[in-house]
Structures are given as structure tokens and as C-alpha cells.
Amino acid sequence: MIRGPIPQAPAQPPKAQVEITIDGTAARIPEGSTILDACKSLGVETPTLCFLQSLTPVNACRVCVVELEGSRVLVPACARRVEPGMVIHTDSERVRHSRKMVLEFLASSVDLSTAPDAQRFCERYGADPARYAESDGSAATVEQPVKIDNQLYVRDYSKCILCYKCVEACGVDAQNTFAIAVAGRGFEAHISTEYDVPLPDSACVYCGNCIGVCPTGALMFSSEHELRARGQWNEAEQTATETICSYCGVGCTLTLHVQDNSIVKVTSPIENDVTSGHLCVKGRFGFSYVQNRPDDV
Amino acid sequence: MDLHYTADVATDDERAAVDGLLGPARNGVSGAAARRQRHLLLPVLHALADRIGWISAGALNYVSRRLDVAPAEAYGVATFYALFSTTPRPPRVLHVCDDIACIDAGAQALCSALASTFGPAGESGPDAAATWLRTPCLGLCDRAPAALLATAGAQHAMVQLAPVDAEDLARAMTGTSNGAGAVPRIGGSELRLLRRVGKVDPESIDAYRAHDGYSALREAFELGPGRIIAEITASKLLGRGGAAFPTGRKMDAVARAPERPHYLICNADESEPGTFKDRILMEYDPYAIVEAMTIAAYAVGCERGFIYIRGEYPLAAHRIGHAVAQARRHGFLGNDIMSRGFRFDIEVRRGAGAYICGEETALFNSIEGKRGEPRSKPPFPVQAGLFGKPTQINNVETLANIPLILLEGGAAYARIGTPDSTGTRLFCLSGAIAHPGLYEVPHGTTLGALIEMAGGVRGQERLQAILLGGAAGAFVPPGALTMPLTFEDARAAGATLGSGVVMLFSERVDLPAILRRIAQFFRDESCGQCVPCRVGTVRQEEALHRLASDGTSAGRKGDVLLLDEIGRAMRDASICGLGQTAANVIDSARKNLDLFTSEAQQ
Ligand SMILES: Cc1cc2nc3c(=O)[nH]c(=O)nc-3n(C[C@H](O)[C@H](O)[C@H](O)COP(=O)(O)O)c2cc1C
Ligand code: SF4
Ligand code: SF4
Ligand code: SF4
Ligand code: FES
Ligand code: FES
């Protein structure tokens, strides 16, 4: 057990700086940074869907692409590292076109109703998903029944953009449980347990880390899913309270989301040093004991 | 790892199939040692498919335990490949090609006949003795229409059937049928790569040695690695796998890479519709490929090489496997090759029905036992390829040029062809051509001259268009017959030589239907990883279907413009060459053949 302050690693020598140009502005960026990091430091807003700071970049969604002079194709800002002399355009016609198309492709095939980021990006880039089905409604979608096979969370893959985040969180990036993976190929590729067995038959330990990283609400607490189904989900009315998980000595930070005096979901801040946003089943779902009220019995 | 398994257990036969490859379980390894065998996942899945015909939950659990792979991941791998089934299916599966060269040869009628006798594709129950499926190009377009019969069981077999008629197919469904191993038609003006094809017994290492075999390897040992690479650089050899990258430059980078070990891979996944050149080289001159790999391995410093052969090429896999074994027996592979103290060996790997696994980084993942999803570059294969190590990967035909370069010298080689496109080139002629087959000509030969060598346009038909370079290539009009076949002239004509496909379409053919089949190909073969390709290929196919139905003229105009928009996004934003080229043929049909022009102007 660690007592006293956690020892700090010795200070790193300052990183070499790389000179690049973004949208006409020259900048010095620490070596090893990604183009996305560079954009952030310059205040250039870049849409991302499959990127998360706590996970290995898979650069699959392609909504973050930027134009790099000298490159035949656009490059993903989230994964491409800066190199000296790079000249980057983040708002050229090519960039805006590809971002708009990626968003239209997603919005025309996936239910983005609980994906606020994606909706915001669609608006910003003027995505018009309706045009794919205009003439005869022939546009293929990933629509399918919601999977409800346990009491803790639901999987609604009609809302899945296949960003791989849940797979990474369940695997080496956090949980090391490997209950889910991508199966199938092409448009039929999907997140699945082996042979699509229900979660209770799979390796799942209900840590909920996949829920924590899912950007679209495809993975959702049952409590949230039920409230939404009844039309009672009301984020504006919710409070978020930080506390420390009382189950064990790790001391994970919990954020309790409360609506009408009931905990409706539990998250952990992604910046938190201890959790990086990840929890275990106890912290994530073991909250009923704090709200055992007489009228619940 | 502490993995979890469902209750499903493997049958005795399933265990036997797995143990046949991995050795008995009680002698088997576990933990980290088992995980190091992850690269055997694809071979094990093949063993199950060969023996049982499909991969059950119990079998997959057993495989996962033996290799310490999470079952969900193993399932993700098994469901990636078109040749594998994770639901029960009959032991005999007839794969019938309905791709573009076979459409020209009547594949639709064959499929209709099969459907009326045996029911729709893939819909016979698991208790039936046989089922049939539609498949993309089988690489037998020179003998179209084509089919492939896979029979599972203790005596499993895979047989190529081409050309086939309705009776052949019905026989294949109901009983046994022997694929006739017809010697391919070859031709051209200068047979160098093809000099032994059809003339020298492909199973005999003595015959190979009597016809120049292994003289280039001897020369290689005299030159040493540095001068081999210098000769190849001087030859200006460009890769024949589609990307036209200078081979010498790639070898130089791998040879210099400080990290060890280095790996060598021969890319024999040939799945580009219309392409069959690598198959014929492997089937009829396999030792040449083994020798070329050995030279390349010596030059860049590899002890271990792989040849990744597409799963639908049973004869090529057999002949290469046989050649590797013979070479090993005669000291041309192994610990002390030709008593020169050089150690190198080759493993044969079979693909399992995934065009994308020909993309070099997807191929690495496939060998490593992962889903065949391309990786993002950088890092490049020469820096971090197979197992994360510096890797030399080349196409079969590229490698086949190397012995020739060493025997005549790089400078002499470079005098063949044109200054920027040196050497000869293999062209796969199919479709509406009098004599379909594989032709070898020096770069710079005109398209018209090549077509004349193959007897010209078939019968009395009139040429409508020529597909150059495959599904990822481009259409050129009949007026392009004067075009010299070089990398640079193809580029100037808005086309590419790609993998050497020259497929002729006469006016008999409904070109928009061919475009729809190509669009379907990309939709089916997309790995699904990135959005522009996963969804873009679907939207592209849908727009082409709408254009074929009678919509309003405003709708048709919108769809033509939409095709352009989709194409631009796929080209610009996709991870790999599949998505980046998935709109090329459609784009070229619009630009070079004026297809859909009237729709766009309404
Ligand atoms: C979708 C796709 C499929 C490919 N398939 C093949 C193939 O079957 N055989 C091949 O040699 N190269 C194929 N390539 C090209 C390889 O990625 C790689 O460039 C080639 O193996 C390098 O060899 P080379 O330099 O000798 O041409 C493919 C590329 C893409 C994008
Ligand atoms: S809840 Fe945890 S263990 Fe279960 S699938 Fe999600 S990440 Fe994996
Ligand atoms: S379920 Fe969510 S996290 Fe998982 S791939 Fe789909 S959108 Fe991404
Ligand atoms: S372009 Fe297509 S095949 Fe290539 S990585 Fe993306 S989805 Fe996969
Ligand atoms: S956020 Fe960069 S590719 Fe998805
Ligand atoms: S074998 Fe049928 S198209 Fe190539």
C-alpha cells in the first residue's frame, strides 16, 4: 500500500520543438505531438469521434482529417505526428468536403439521436443525411433491435458508429477482459461477443468502461435507457457530484449523476490520474445501497 | 491471460483437426508461449474449415484455449474471411464466380440454372450434401466462366473448375468432379518471365535446374547483398503489385534498418478482379518464386520468409508448397543454403477469401492472426511491418524479375522497355478477346499490338471499352489502342496498369451492370474499418442501382453528382488503397467513356 504522497517521476528534459504551419500560422510544437495536439494548442477546433486521450488512436472515423501539403490524401489529425516543415490546412474545401461526407455517411446509416458531439459536427459541416434516401428510401442502415440481456446496461447497436472505443476499453487499453471485438466485415462489421452470445454468457465483468467511452449512447446504463424510453430523461435537471468510491483502497473518483434524487448513472473524470475515466463494476454499478429508501423496499 | 469461455465444447473431430496442426494438447504450450503462436490462428481455422466445413462455437473455444486468444477476438477473425462459416453448412460448397469476366461468359445464366435446381445461393440447409455461393473473381478469367469446389472432410479437397457449363456445375453439386488442370494459354513477343511456363515440369527441381534454375542464386552469393541491391536499383524495376514502387529503394531501406529480425514476404494474394498472372507463375514456375525469395532474403538480411497465397488458389499453394519442400531437401533452403552459410526458410500461408489482405499492412495483420484490417502509414513496412519488424514485401511478379536482373545485370535489364518503365510486363487478357490468356511484352508495346497478339476482339463483336488494371483500375475507350503500355502513358491517360488486367468489353455488354458489379465488389471487400469506405462503398452502389431504375431526371442528375461527391471523399479520406480507389472505375467510365453524361446535363 502506498503511504504519503505518490512519488513523482523525475522531470523529463524539455522536448525538442517542431516548426509547422497550420492555416497560415507558424507554430512551434513539441516533438511527438499529433496534429490534433497542435490544432488544440492553436485553438483550432477539430471534430473527433473515434479519438479519446485515454485510448490508443485507431483513426477509423476519419472525421478529423486535414490537408497536408505534399500528401496525396488527407491525413488523420488524431494519429499523425507532427514533422518539421509540415504545412497543414484544416478548413480547405477538400477538408470540409470529406468531413461533411463522413458525417453524412454516419448520420444516414446510424441513429445519432443520443450523440450530441456528432450532431454538433453535422450542423457545423452542413451534413444533409436525408439526401441518400430521398428518391426511394433505399439507403442501408445498421438499424436493429436493442440488446437487453442484463440488468445493468443495454446495447443499442443501431446507434453504433464502429469507433472501436469500447473494444479498446474492454481490451488492453483498460479492462483486459476482451469480452467484445469487431466481427464481420465491411458494412456488416459490428461489435460482438463470440457468436453474439448474451453478455451474461460472455467474459463481461460489467465494469461499464465501454459505456464510459461510447460517444453515441449505443451503450447506456439501463437506468438512463428506461428514463429515456419513458420520456423522463432530463439532463438539464441533473446534478453531478464527485465523490470517492468507498469499496476499496484504490480510491477511484466517482461522478454521480442524479436526477429526481436518484442516481441515474456513474462516470469518472477522464482527466483523473487514478481512473483515466475507467472504473470497476462496484464503483460503476454498485450504488443502490446509498439510495435505499424506505419507499424502495 | 485469464480468459472466459462459454460452455460449448469441441467434438473429437474438431480437436483432431486443431491438434493436427498444433500438436497434441497435453504437449501443448500455454500462457505467453501459447500467445506467441497467435500467428497460427488462420492456419488452425483453415484446418477446421478443411476437416469440418465450418467453425463451431466449441471448436473456436478449443482454438482460443490452445492459443490463449480471447474467444471474442477469435470470432472477429473467423468472421472476417469469406471462405469461413461460423454457422453450420454442408461439407461440399461450390463457389461460382459472378464477377465481371464471368458475367461476359454467361455467369448469370449459370447462377439462375443452379438456383432453379438447388435453390438460392447459400440457402440449402446444413443437412444438404452441398450448397452453392456466389463469389468474386476466382483468378481464372482466362478460362471464364469459373467455379471452385471445396469439399470438407478427412479427404478434403479444393478444385478449380474452368471453364464450366451448367452440367459441370450440377455434377459438382451432386457428386465428384475432377478439375482439369489445363495448361494456360501464354503468349507475347518476348517470353522471359514465362519462359519455363508449360515447358518445364513445375514439380521437378531437376528440370528447373536444367533450365537456368538456381544460377541466379549462385550469382547472388558471388555479388553479395550490397551489389545485388545495386543491380536491382540499376534495373529500375518497379513493383508489379499495383503501387509501382521502386524495388531497389525498398530493399535498400530494409537492408539498412537497424532493428532485427527482418522479414520477407511474397504477396501472392492476387485477388484483383481480372488478374491471374501470379497464379500462373506459381502453378507453372514455382521454383523461380522460391529462388527469387531466397535471393531477396539474402540481400536484405532475412532468415524467415512467408508466401501468402490467396485461399482460392489450391494448385498454386500445392505447387509452391512442393517446391519449398524440394528446395529444402536439396539444400536450397534451410540452415546452410548452397553451403554458403546462409540460413533462410519459407512458410506458406493461405488467405481465406479477403481481397483486402493483399494490401500489405492488412496482410501483416492476417499473418499475425488478427483481422485483416490495414494499418495506418507511417510507419511503413520497411520500418515496422510483420510482427512490427522491418519487412520486405513484394508481389510475385516483381520477385520473378529478380533472377533475370542478376543474370543479365541491372543495366542490361533497364534497356528493355522504356526509360521509365523497364523490363517486360505480364498482361492478363480476358473478356471479349479471341484468345484469353497471359501475355508477356516489353513495356512500351501498344495496347492495340498486345490485343492483336491475343487474336484481337472476339468474333464479330465491336469493342466498347477496355478495363485496365482491374477493379481498382480504369476504363479506357477503344481509341486508346495506340497507347503504349507504360506506367507513365497509363497515368497520362487517366488510367493505370495496376496488376496487368486488360479486360475487353464488347458492345454486347451492359456497361452500367459491370459498374454495379464492381461497386458491389468494393462494398463486399471493404474491411469496414473506416467510415468513408465502409459506408461510401454502400452509398456508391446504391446510387448506381438508382441510376439503373427509372427515376426522375432530377433524381438521376442528383445521383450522378452524388457519385462524384462520394468518390472524392473515399479517395481523400479512406485509410487504404481499397477505399481510395473504389470510385476510380466509375470515375473513368464517366470521364473516358462519357457514361452518365446525358444524365448529368439534364
Ligand atoms: C486493396 C489492396 C489490395 C492489394 N492486393 C495486392 C495483391 O493481391 N498482390 C500484391 O502483390 N499487391 C497487392 N496490393 C499492393 C500491396 O499493398 C503492396 O503495394 C505490394 O505488395 C508491394 O509489392 P510490389 O512493390 O512488389 O508491387 C494491394 C493493395 C491494396 C490497397
Ligand atoms: S462492461 Fe467492461 S467487461 Fe463488459 S463489455 Fe464493457 S468494458 Fe468489457
Ligand atoms: S458501441 Fe459505442 S464505443 Fe462501441 S464502437 Fe459502437 S459507438 Fe463506439
Ligand atoms: S479504406 Fe476500406 S478497406 Fe481500407 S481500411 Fe478503410 S474500410 Fe478498410
Ligand atoms: S478522430 Fe481521428 S480518425 Fe476518428
Ligand atoms: S474468374 Fe470470374 S471474373 Fe475472374
Task: Kindly indicate the confidence band of residue B25, based on its pLDDT and cuts at 50, 70 and 90.
Answer: confident
pLDDT of residue A3: 61
B71 touches chain A (CB under 8 A): yes
Average the pLDDT over each of A134-138, A289-293, B430-434 and give the range with the smallest value: A134-138
Across A127-140, average pLDDT: 82
Sign of the CA dihedral with B454 first, then B456, B462, and B467 last: positive
Q: For ligand 3, say whether the CB of A216 is within 6 Å of any of its atoms.
A: yes
- The model's confidence at residue A272, banded by pLDDT at 50, 70 and 90, is very high
Q: Could you please report the per-residue DSSP string of A145-164? A: --B--SSSEEE-GGG----S
Residue B31: exposure state from Cβ atoms within 10 A (0-12, 13-18, ≥19)? exposed
All cell numbers assigned to A123: 450542423
d(CA A154, CA A225): 7
Cβ-nearest to B531 among A61, A171, A179 = A61
Report pLDDT for B178.
62
Q: How many CB atoms lie within 10 A of CB B348?
A: 20
Q: Read off the pLDDT of residues B230-258 as tens digits, 9 standing for 90 and up.
A: 999 999 999 999 989 999 999 999 999 99
Task: Provide the phi-psi class of B90: left if phi over 0, else alpha when psi is between -120 and 50, else beta.
Answer: beta
| CATH assignment, B511-601 | 1.20.1440.230
Q: Is B524 near chain A, with CB under 8 Å?
A: yes
What number is the average pLDDT over the span A196-204?
97
pLDDT of residue B416: 98
A175: distance to nearest CA of chain B, Å?
12
- Tens digit of each residue's pLDDT (9 = 90 or more) over B290-328: 999 999 999 999 999 999 999 999 999 999 999 999 999
Q: Say if B201 is an interface residue toward chain A (CB within 8 Å).
A: no
Q: pLDDT category, B227, cuts 50, 70, 90?
A: very high
Q: Which residues of chain A does B574 touch, with a Cβ-Cβ cutoff of 8 Å?
A: 62, 73
B536: cell is 461510401
Tell me the C-alpha distance between B216 and A169, whole Å. Answer: 52
Residue B190: is its pLDDT beyond 90? no
pLDDT value of position A11: 72
Residue B182 pLDDT > 80:
no
**pLDDT band for position B181 (cuts 50, 70, 90):** low
C-alpha of residue B38 to centroid of ligand 2, in Å: 23
Domain boundaries, chain B: 12-78, 92-174, 187-414, 424-506, 511-601
Residues in chain A: 297
The β-bridge relationship of strands B262-268 and B334-337 is: unpaired
Measured in Å, residue A107 CA sits from the centre of ligand 4 at 19
A179 ligand 5 Cβ < 6 A: no
**Model confidence at B522: pLDDT above 50:** yes
Is B516 an 8 Å CB contact of chain A? no
CATH fold group of domain A17-91: Ubiquitin-like (UB roll) (3.10.20)
- Shortest CA gap B110–chain A (Å): 27
Tell me how far apart the alpha carbons of residues B322 and B289 are, in angstroms, rounded to a whole number.
Answer: 12
**B46, B350 contact by CB (below 8 A):** yes
Q: Which of B422-426, B448-452, B598-602 has the lowest mean pLDDT?
A: B598-602
Give the E-state strand segments of chain A in sequence order: 17-22, 25-30, 65-68, 75-76, 87-89, 153-155, 181-183, 190-192, 219-221, 239-244, 253-259, 262-267
Cα–Cα distance for residue pair B404/B219, rounded to 1 Å: 11
Q: Per residue in B317-358, pLDDT tens?
A: 999 999 999 999 999 999 999 999 999 999 999 999 999 999
- Does the pLDDT at position A295 exceed 80? no
Please tell me what DSSP assigns to residue A292. Answer: -
Give A101 Cα–ligand 1 centroid separation in angstroms. 27
Q: Assess whether pLDDT exceeds 60 at residue A296.
A: no
Interface check B185 vs A, CB under 8 A: no
Q: Which atom of ligand 4 is nearest the CA belonging to B570? A: 1
- A5 versus A248: the higher-pLDDT residue is A248
Q: Does domain B187-414 have CATH number 2.40.160.20?
A: no
| The predicted structure's pLDDT at residue B601 | 82
List alpha helices for B97-204, DSSP H. 100-104, 107-118, 166-174
Q: How far is A146 from chain B (nearest CA, A)?
A: 20
Report chain B residues whose CB lies below 8 A from the CB of A79.
Answer: 376
pLDDT 10s digits, A68-106: 999 999 999 999 999 999 999 999 999 999 999 999 999
Give residues (CB < 6 A) around ligand 1. Answer: B 239-243, 245, 267, 269-271, 355-356, 358-360, 393-395, 398, 576-578
Amino acid at B15: R
Question: Is the per-residue pLDDT at B504 higher than 70?
Answer: yes
A179 part of contact set with chain B, CB < 8 Å:
yes
Across the range A118-146, mean pLDDT stands at 90
The shortest CB-CB distance from B76 to any of A134, A161, A183 is to: A183
pLDDT at residue B179, as a whole number: 61
Ligand 6 centre distance from Cα of residue B265 (Å):
26
Q: How confident is the model at residue A294 (pLDDT cuts 50, 70, 90)?
A: low
Greatest C-alpha distance within chain B: 74
A120 touches B: beta carbon within 8 Å: no
User: Considering only residues 41 to 80 of chain A, which have any Cβ-Cβ distance to chain B shorter than 8 Å?
Assistant: 58-63, 65, 73-74, 76, 79
Among residues of chain B, what percentage have pLDDT more than 70?
99
> What is the model's pLDDT at position A160?
98
Give the start-to-end residue ranges of the domains of chain A: 17-91, 96-132, 153-291
Contact B568 A98 (CB under 8 A): yes
Neighbours of A242 (CB within 10 A): 11
What DSSP designation does B399 have?
Answer: H
pLDDT bracket for residue B82 (50, 70, 90): very high
Closest partner residue to B70 (CB to CB) among A59, A65, A178 is: A178
Q: How far is CA A228 from CA A217, A224, A272, B47, in A?
A: 11, 6, 29, 48
CB B205 within 8 A of CB B213: yes
Q: A97: closest CA among B573, B376, B534, B474? A: B573
Measure the CA–CA gap between B213 and A133, rounded to whole angstroms: 60
Sheet holding B463-468, edge to edge: B186-188, B437-442, B424-431, B501-506, B463-468, B474-476
| CA A151-A153-A158 angle, 5° bins | 130
Identify the pLDDT of residue A7.
66
- Across the range B261-275, mean pLDDT stands at 98
Say how many CB pairs under 8 Å bridge A and B.
175
Do B365 and B375 meet the contact criterion of CB atoms below 8 Å apart? yes
Q: Does the beta carbon of B72 lie under 8 angstroms from any beta carbon of chain A?
A: yes
- On the question of pLDDT at A297 being above 50, the answer is no
Taking 70 as the threshold, does the pLDDT of residue B106 lie above it?
Answer: yes
Report d(CA A42, CA A26) in Å as an integer: 10
pLDDT at B39 over 90: yes
Q: List the A17-22 sheet strands across, edge first.
A: A25-30, A17-22, A87-89, A65-68, A75-76
> Average of pLDDT values for B117-132?
90
pLDDT of residue A166: 98
A216 alpha carbon to ligand 3 midpoint, in Å? 7
> B507: number of CA atoms within 13 Å, CB side?
6
CA proximity to A181, closest of B75, B112, B409: B75
Q: How far is B600 from chain A (nearest CA, A)?
A: 16
Mean pLDDT of chain B: 96
pLDDT tens string B436-456: 999 999 999 999 999 999 999
**Residue A68 DSSP code:** E
B475–chain A nearest CA distance, Å: 22
Whether A105 and B532 lie within 8 Å, measured CB to CB: yes
| Residue keyed to cell 461510447 | A214
Class of the CATH-defined domain B92-174: alpha beta
Our CA-based measurement puts residue A27 at a distance from the nearest CA of chain B, in whole angstroms, of 23
Rounded CA separation B512/B520 (Å): 12
What ranges make up the beta strands (E) of B469-579? Answer: 474-476, 501-506
CB proximity A195 to B under 8 Å: yes
Q: Is B482 exposed, middle or buried (0-12, 13-18, 19+ CB in 10 A)?
A: exposed
Q: Is the peptide bond before B442 cis (omega within 30 degrees of 0)?
A: no
- Is the CB of B38 inside 8 Å of chain A's CB atoms? no
Q: Which ligand is nearest to the CA of B272?
A: 1
Tell if the CB–CB gap between B539 and A132 is shorter than 8 Å.
yes
Q: What distance lies between CA A254 and its chain's CA centroid? A: 18
| Helix A93-109 and helix A116-125, axial crossing angle in degrees, nearest 10 | 130
Please choose from B276, B359, B570 the residue to mutate so as to test ligand 1's pocket, defined by most ligand atoms within 8 A of CB: B359
Q: Which of B85-89, B101-105, B186-190, B225-229 has the lowest mean pLDDT?
A: B186-190
DSSP 8-state secondary structure symbol assigned to residue A236: G
Q: B177 falls in which pLDDT band (50, 70, 90)?
A: low
Check residues B178 and B562 and name the one with the higher pLDDT. B562
pLDDT at residue A136, as a whole number: 65
pLDDT class for B2, splitting at 50, 70, 90? confident
Q: How far is the CA of B196 from the centre of ligand 6 (A)?
A: 25
d(CA B58, CA A122): 44
pLDDT in tens, B537-567: 999 999 999 999 877 888 889 999 999 999 9
Q: What is d(CA B526, CA B516) in angstroms, rounded to the nearest whole number? A: 15
Nearest 5°: the CA angle A161, A164, A168 is: 155
The answer on pLDDT for B488 being more than 60 is yes
Q: Cα B35 to chain center, whole Å?
A: 28
Q: How many residues does chain B have?
A: 602
CATH number listed for the domain at residues B424-506? 3.10.20.600
Q: Which CATH architecture has domain A153-291?
A: Single Sheet (2.20)
Q: Which whole number is the average pLDDT over A169-196?
A: 97
The residue among A61, A134, A187, A196 with the most chain B CBs within 10 A of its CB, best to mutate, is A187
ipTM for the predicted complex comes to 0.95
Query: What type of residue sits at position A122?
Result: C
Mean pLDDT of the region A117-136: 90
